[in-house]
Structure 1
Amino acid sequence: MGGSASSQLDEGKCAYIRGKTEASIKNFSPYYSRQYSVAFCNHVRSEVEQQRDLTSQFLKTKPPLEPGTVLYEAELSQFAEDIRKWKDRYIVIKNDFAVESYESKEAYQRGAVP
């Protein structure tokens, strides 16, 4: 508010800030009182009714996939240390999270050994 952070506020500034604060609270209070009363009534209702059908907080799990189901497949480039070049490979990840690497997509489709 003032020229420096540690300066004291004079009466004029205090009155100005107090007026702004009171006006903001006065404008906000009708909304707050309505929302508070609704929230309080919901809280009381839930305590009185003692709902027995509480929703589960456990994570939902998906049904297990069939063995060998492919989760992800894509082509990527792999650096071959022996020839010091990049080679295109076809990668398949199955539902047991095993990563299989093939020479090409055609090799995978033919059933070649990874």
Structure 2
Amino acid sequence: MGDVVSSHLDEAKREIISARTEKVMGEFGRLYEQQFAVALFNKVRFDIEGGGGPQSQLLHRKIPLENKSIFSGSLFQNIEENKKWKNRYFFVPDSYNINYYDNKSSFEKR
């Protein structure tokens, strides 16, 4: 038990590991940045509406969504100034950007 000898990494090995780690984290960061807003949006929606089990934080898609919406529908937004809730229309396209409009007709007019 324990015949393993560890040695310090030399500078070349450290640079190789750093480069690989930076590449993997860069790819993951890009995906995380795209999908964080949608994952947060889904969590808030499930917290408010209830139902459904735990959801994975990253969206897994075999076929990428192209020219499709991930989510569209009405949600209530709390307006701080007058302490009232307003019904807003939300639209999340395949780019994972969250867009909201005053109502559905505003969205249709763009």
Q: What is the TM-score when the length of structure 2 is the normalising length?
A: 0.42
Higher relative contact order (CA 8 A, sep 6+): 2
Q: What is the TM-score when the length of structure 1 is the normalising length?
A: 0.40
